[in-house]
Amino acid sequence: MDKNNQIPFDEDNYTHNINRNNERKLDRRGFMKTLVGAAGVFAVSSLPWGAVAAKELLGLKNKEYPHQKIADLDAVGIGEAVEFAFPGEHDSALLIRLGEKKFVAYQNACTHLRCPVFWVKDQNEMVCPCHHGKFDVETGAPTAGPPRRPLPEIEVEVNDGAIFAVRVKRYEA
- Which residues make up the interface to another protein (CB under 8 A)? 27-29, 31-33, 35-36, 38-40, 42-43, 45-47, 49-50, 52-54, 56-57, 149, 170-171, 173
* H helix or E strand, kind and range, residue 54: helix 28-57
State the Cα–Cα distance between residues 137 and 77, nearest whole angstrom: 16
Closest distance between another protein and the C-beta of residue 162, in Å? 30
Nearest approach, Cβ of 52 to another protein (angstroms)? 7
Nearer to another protein, 17 or 45 (CB): 45
Instruction: Report d(CA 118, CA 109) in Å as an integer.
Output: 10
Taking the least distance from each CB to another protein, the nearer of 7 and 60 is 60
Q: How far apart are CA 156 and CA 136, in angstroms?
A: 18
Residue number, 1 or 54, with CB nearest to another protein: 54
Q: Is 116 helix (H, G, I), strand (E, B) or coil?
A: strand
Q: How far is the CB of 172 from another protein (least distance, A)?
A: 8
Residue 120, SS3 per DSSP? strand
Nearest residue (CB) to another protein, 14 versus 42: 42
Nearest distance from C-beta of residue 48 to another protein, angstroms = 9
Question: Which residues, in sequence order, are CB contacts of 109 under 8 Å at separation 6+?
Answer: 91, 92, 115, 116, 117, 151
